[in-house]
Structure formats: structure tokens, C-alpha cells
Amino acid sequence: MTISKEQEAQILRYHHVEKWRVGTIAHQLGIHHNTVNRVLSQAGLPKAVRSQRPSMIDPYLPFLTDTLSRYPTLTASRLYQMVRERGYPGGPDHFRHQLACYRPRPRPEAFLRLRTLPGEQSQVDWGHFGKLTIGRAEHALMAFVMVLSYSRRIFLRFFLGAQMANFLRGHEAAFTAWNGLSKVLLYDNLKSAVLERRGDAIRFHPTLLDFAAHYRFEPRPVAVARGNEKGRVERAIRYVRDHFWPARQWRDLDDLNAQAEAWCNGWAMDRPCPEERSLSVRQVFAQEPLLALPENPYPTDERVEVHIGKTPYARFERNDYSVPHTHVRCTLTVSASPGAVRILDGGQEIAHHVRSYDKGQQIERPEHIEALVQLKRQARRHSGQDRLAQATPASRTLLSQAAERGDNLGTITATLLRLLEDYGAAELEAAINESLAQGVPHPNGVRIALQRRREARNQPPPLGIRLNDERARQLVVSPHDLSGYDQLQAIDTETDGAAEAMYDDQ
């Protein structure tokens, strides 16, 4: 326990002036008696000997010390079961407290300060910096950190997740920023680097091995439980947390990475180099030789095979991206960069979208949807025309002449299909022929011909009127002779004239 200088002065005054005992001082100041003993020992006073009271564990101490000497890692719960079987009457909490005083302590290990040659080694690790919400999706905000072990130059780049593609993109961005790379890259036992480890036998991730072969560096993992071997990158992450991250304001991920790049090239480069305190990191880095970069960068785009169902969309990262309708029921390849999603059919690109980091979104290109809509319209129109031509062959001539006039064939087809349902194939065929004979290749001429033929036969209106009463369906409405209305109008005119004459006479 750490206490202030004022408390240390109080402990010494209470002990020398007030002559208080250790337990009294600890009780009054609310601290542990071991802290009081430590302060008194540092002042040159002998440690106060506290009276030891008999404990329930005393009869079992020979058994416990012997067992712990042979099995030093045996858990307290297992030892408690063993002493309970031998008659120990105490509870588990008291037993654990007493056992801690007798458990053998491992001898502390001393570590040598590791030094590396210029350009020899870099250390790589991820740092977790909370979560970032984009729309309805929540992403882990991960910081990729690489540090040169000699000059201690830091590279920092933030990503949404620690996937292998982001891991490789972080490497390439660091190599580009430094215009080179070290001979050895040291990794913790990350899943992105080490797939399996059995003692000294290591199975690296095949993608990382291919990446290392491309840039000609040696990937090397640290030993198990040897965090001191990668202390430089851990201190670099701590340095980022203490000097870059606090009170940082940023709009989006691009803005955050722009600020991180400026910080790495400015403040972090001008700090004193731990290896040479008289020089800055910038000055030491200028003297550090690095391996040259190859001409072509390593492809870091994510590639995923997707199966397109009956709807023209490819599912990638909880979002749907549109594809041409000609590629439904096919297996395609999604190639994704941080800003774009490309959908490939073999080596041919069939769709290109802006990448979305939201979830549950449909990202569409207007031409994909419009092509599908036109296809459906044409399919419906051709289906109706085929049905109409099969029932009334004369409709082909009418549609052909209507097309020459520039009329809308879809509307004409739909109207003729309704007339076909109302009047039947025979009547519609005859009406179409009559309308064509009069030079009217239009549904209005066909409708007039159908009405004239129905009235001539004194037939009821077609069932297409959809009357609910059966008697109304059978009702025949004949047009009334309007000549009587003309006679009434003539009589009304004569009457009005006579009334006007009488009014003038008066």
C-alpha cells in the first residue's frame, strides 16, 4: 500500500512521541499494520514482533508444508478438501488466508535489457480503443501499432476490427510511411500471425508467410509468457494511450487516422530516443538502414465467394450489394477494399459499390434495378400479347398498326385483355376486324364496335361491370327515343312566346 509523506510523518510521530504500538497506529490511520512496519523499518527501527495466537491450522502445518513442497501449484480449494478429510474444523476463507503465509513464493526472475542493431527489428501489436458505432452497426476500434526497436519510431493506424486484411494493410501503410522495413518483425502470439503453437513448434498463418515472402522479412513470435521481449511495442501503445488518445476529437475514422499520422510524424518523432537520450527519434531514424520496398504492393483486398439467390444481391458483411439480374443463381467473388466493394464474375468486374460499414443496408446501383424493372415489364407485356394473339389473331394486326403510330402497346394490350374477359374471344375478334376496317387501330374503336354489336342484339352489359345483383346483370337497357324531348322543347318555346306577348300588351 502506498501512503503519502504526511502519513509517514504521522506514523513516526505517533511511534516516537506518543509511544503508540503498531496496531494502534494502523487502527487510527486506517492502514494495514504491514505498512506501519515498513515505514518504521525504513526509518531504521526494528520490526515490531506481534504476538502469535494459536490457530486451528497449526496441527496441519507439517502436512501442508510437505504437500506444498512436492506440489507447489496445488490450489487452495484442493488443499482445503484434503485437510477437511483429516479433521480440520475451520472454514475455507480462514484456511485460504492462513495458507497464503506458508505457500512457497517463486524466486523473482531478473531480465536483461534487450538491445537491437539499427534496422534489425520491428515489433507489432494491436491495441483496443473501445467501440465505434456506424448507423446500426457496432465495430471494435483497433489501433495497429508498429515500432522500430532501435530508433523507436512509431506507426499508428486505426481500423474497424483486427481482421487479417486490416493486419496486412497496417503493415503496408507502415512500410510506405517509413519507405522501408526492418529485417525481422516480432509478433505476440496473435491469431493473425500464429495459428498453432506446441512448445517451440510454430505454425504461422499461411497468408502472413506469403506476405513476409513478398516483402522479404522474417516473422518471429515472442516466447510464451515473455512479454519483456516485446516491451517496446507495449510501451508504444501505452504512449499512444497517454499522449495521443486523451481528449481527442474526431469526425470519422479518416479524420482520426489523419490526426494519428500527423502525431506520428510530429510529436512522436521529436521526443527523445530512449536508446540515445541526447538525440531525438527523428535524428536516430535518419541513421537507421531499412530494407527497400518491392515495386508492387501485396494485394490486401478481402476476397469472399458469395452465392447469389433469386434476388440480384450479394451479401457481404451484413449488407446486400446489387448485381445485374443476369447473374442470379450464380457464385461470384466479392473483392473489398476499405472504401469500395467490387463484385467479380471470374476476372470480370460486374458491379462496383461504395463500401458500407452499417448493417442491414441495401446498396444498389440504379442501372441494376432499372434493367430488372424493364425486364419484368417486357415479360408481362409479351405474356399478355401472346395470350391475346392466341385468342384473337386479328389483335396482331391491330398491335402492329398501333406500333407504327407510336402508341403504347402495353396500355393497348391491357385494355384488350379486359375486353376479352368481358366479351369473349369471338366478339372481340369481330370488333377488332370492324375497327380495323374503319381504319381505327385503337381500343376505343374496338370498344365502340363491341357496344354497337351488343345493342344491336339487345343484350345485357358485359359481366365486367361487376354488378352484385343477378337481376341487374340480366337487365337490358335500351336507348330511349329522344324525339319526344324535341317536341316538348318546341311546345315550351311557343308557350314562352305567348306569355311574352301578353306581357307586352299589358
Concatenating the DSSP letter of every residue in 422-433 gives: HH-HHHHHHHHH
Instruction: In whole angstroms, give the CA distance from residue 80 to residue 58.
Output: 14
pLDDT of residue 177: 94
Q: What is the 3-state secondary structure (H, E, C) of 1-39?
A: CCCCHHHHHHHHHHHHCCCCCHHHHHHHHCCCHHHHHHH
DSSP class of 102: T
User: pLDDT digit of tens for each residue in the chain (506 aa)?
Assistant: 678 888 888 888 888 888 888 888 888 888 888 888 888 888 777 655 555 677 888 888 888 888 888 888 889 899 999 999 988 888 888 888 888 877 877 776 555 566 788 999 999 999 999 999 998 899 999 999 999 999 999 999 999 998 899 999 999 999 999 999 999 998 877 766 766 656 555 677 888 899 999 999 998 887 655 555 678 899 999 999 999 999 999 999 999 999 999 999 999 999 998 878 889 999 999 999 999 999 899 999 999 999 998 888 999 989 999 999 888 889 999 999 999 999 999 889 999 999 999 998 888 888 887 877 776 666 555 667 777 777 888 888 888 888 888 888 778 888 888 888 888 888 888 888 988 888 888 888 888 888 888 888 887 776 555 455 545 444 444 555 666 666 666 666 666 555 555 545 55
HSE-CB for 85 with a 13 A CA cutoff: 6
Residue 429 near residue 394, CB atoms below 8 Å: yes
Angle in degrees, CA 35, 103, 96, rounded to 5? 75
> Could you identify the residue written with the cell 396482331?
396
pLDDT of residue 474: 45
Strand locations in 56-172, DSSP E?
121-134, 137-148, 154-160
pLDDT of residue 352: 93
pLDDT of residue 315: 93
Instruction: In whole angstroms, give the CA distance from residue 281 to residue 267.
Output: 10
* Segment (H or E) for 379: helix 366-391
pLDDT of residue 51: 57
> Could you identify the residue written with the cell 502525431?
263
pLDDT of residue 190: 72
> Could you identify the residue written with the cell 506444498?
68
Rg (CA), the chain: 46
pLDDT of residue 489: 66
pLDDT of residue 44: 75
pLDDT of residue 411: 84
* Segment (H or E) for 210: helix 206-215
3-state secondary structure of 253: helix
pLDDT of residue 469: 54
Name the residue among 411, 451, 405, 406 with its Cα closest to residue 428.
451
Cα–Cα distances in Å, from 31 out to 17, 34, 35, 50, 52?
A: 19, 8, 7, 16, 20
Instruction: In whole angstroms, give the CA distance from residue 36 to residue 486.
Output: 128
Mean of per-residue pLDDT scores for the chain: 83
Q: CB-based burial of residue 211 (10 Å sphere; 0-12 exposed, 13-18 middle, 19+ buried)?
A: buried
Instruction: In whole angstroms, give the CA distance from residue 151 to residue 167.
Output: 23
| Cell reading at 300 | 490486401
